[in-house]
Amino acid sequence: MKAVRCVELGGPDKLEVAEVPVPEPGDGEVRLKVAGCGVNFADSLIIQGKYQHKPDLPFTPGMEVAGTITAVGAGVAALEPGQTVIGMTGTGGFAEEVVCPARDVIACPDGLDPVIAASLPVAYGTAHLGLDHRARLQPGETLLVHGASGGVGLAAVEVGKAMGATVIATASSADKLALAGEHGADHLINYTDGPFKDEVKALTDGRGADVIFDPVGGDVFDQSLRCIAWEGRILVVGFASGRIPEAPANLTLVKNMAIMGVFWGAYREKDPAVMTASFATLSDWLLAGTLKPLVSKTYGLDETAQAITDLMERRAKGKIVVTP
Ligand SMILES: NC(=O)c1ccc[n+]([C@@H]2O[C@H](COP(=O)([O-])OP(=O)(O)OC[C@H]3O[C@@H](n4cnc5c(N)ncnc54)[C@H](OP(=O)(O)O)[C@@H]3O)[C@@H](O)[C@H]2O)c1
């Protein structure tokens, strides 16, 4: 079968597409024929050796897939060949077939296009788990979402609206902001026009945002410290800007606010029940039409490097998906 291979750490230009043996599922594993593999910012980090998880070389990147089960390993009772499922693979997804632990496989919501399904777990999982389980976002609160047209950002806009918040979205261009508006954002701010803290305060009668969802970090995080409400919660989701910011501890005291990390993938190991409950809610919202996931572009397996480059160069909107 064909698979994308990371044979040396570096940018997407170092990736190769190679013929490799079809993987056999071991105990507790299933093999999927990949219909789609969602592209994530983390893919750009893992191939450079800059992600938390550093797989041995050579490896195939690709963290989330949807497809059809083609084989099951020993001890897998609940899944069988022919079923369409979503798999949280961590790596291996940019390939024609991939092996995934059965415990990291969930049912594909009925009737959902597998290419859309492949775009869901990381973005919507992180958005919902972050806003609900971590920040305890309440109906009527104000949510500020940074990078609101990106994969996890656009999901956070939709999840925030589904949870009853007023959503302020930031992004770097008018068309990206328009997209956030189409997906439910109530207020739109271009954060490349200058400081956004005064605009956020003006939109919240001087209070600031109750919850800030930040996948960008850097200067955007620094300014968020200046427009968070009393008892507000800043969710540290990622650092797409390239700078990991620091926060003076006294600001947390003065505003009775919390800065909380969200590492969605860790729940697979540490507390899978939280993830299962989150997926159940997301699945209900999907079937009810509350969520409208956007896959703005698909790429062939041979175009995986281009897909990751588009993400790194801020050209992606919503999610992009590789369809082997
Ligand atoms: N903690 C977790 O569990 C978790 C889960 C998923 C993702 N993440 C993190 O969240 C971040 C976003 O991931 P994603 O997959 O949603 O990526 P994405 O689709 O590429 O979205 C990232 C957004 O960040 C903004 N951005 C600002 N400065 C940027 C820069 N210098 N380069 C690229 N983008 C920049 C872009 O919007 P503008 O052009 O509008 O600024 C872009 O839409 C990443 O840091 C990722 O590692 C964390």
Please state the rounded mean pLDDT for residues 183-202: 97
Provide the mean pLDDT of the chain: 97
> From the CA of 209, how far away is ligand 1's center (Å)?
20
The first and second tokens of residue 99, run together, are 């092996």
Residue 236 burial class via C-beta count within 10 angstroms: exposed 0-12, middle 13-18, buried 19 and up: buried
Q: Give residue-wise pLDDT tens across range 223-259.
A: 999 999 999 999 999 999 999 999 999 999 999 999 9
Q: Which long-range contacts (CB under 8 A, 24 or more apart) does 201-210 make?
A: 201/227, 203/142, 203/168, 204/142, 204/229, 207/142, 208/232, 209/142, 209/143, 209/144, 209/168, 210/137, 210/138, 210/141, 210/142, 210/143, 210/165
> Using an 8 Å Cβ cutoff, are 62 and 43 in contact?
yes
Q: Give residue-wise pLDDT tens across range 89-102.
A: 999 999 999 999 99
The pTM of the whole model exceeds 0.95: yes
Pocket of ligand 1 (CB under 6 A): 40-42, 122, 126, 147, 149-153, 171-172, 176, 215-216, 237-242, 262-265, 311, 314, 316
> What pLDDT sits at residue 305?
98
> What pLDDT sits at residue 226?
96
What are the chain's domains?
2-120+293-322 (3.90.180.10), 124-265 (3.40.50.720)
Please state the rounded mean pLDDT for residues 65-75: 98
> From the CA of 75, how far away is ligand 1's center (Å)?
38
Which residue is associated with the tokens 């020993």?
74
> From the CA of 70, how far away is ligand 1's center (Å)?
33
C-alpha distances (whole Å) from 221 to each of 186, 197, 208, 213, 256 are 21, 11, 14, 10, 17
Distance from C-alpha of 218 to C-alpha of 216, rounded to nearest angstrom: 7
> From the CA of 238, how far away is ligand 1's center (Å)?
7
Shortest-distance atom of ligand 1 to CA 239: 45
Which residue is associated with the tokens 């599922």?
25
State the pLDDT confidence band at 283, using cuts at 50, 70 and 90: very high
> What pLDDT sits at residue 299?
98
Q: Say if residue 110's pLDDT is above 90.
A: no
Q: Say if residue 209's pLDDT is above 90.
A: yes
pLDDT > 70 in the chain, percent: 100
Shortest-distance atom of ligand 1 to CA 125: 5
> From the CA of 268, how far away is ligand 1's center (Å)?
21
Shortest-distance atom of ligand 1 to CA 147: 37
Helix (H/G/I), strand (E/B), else coil: 234: strand
State the pLDDT confidence band at 149, using cuts at 50, 70 and 90: very high
Please state the rounded mean pLDDT for residues 136-162: 98
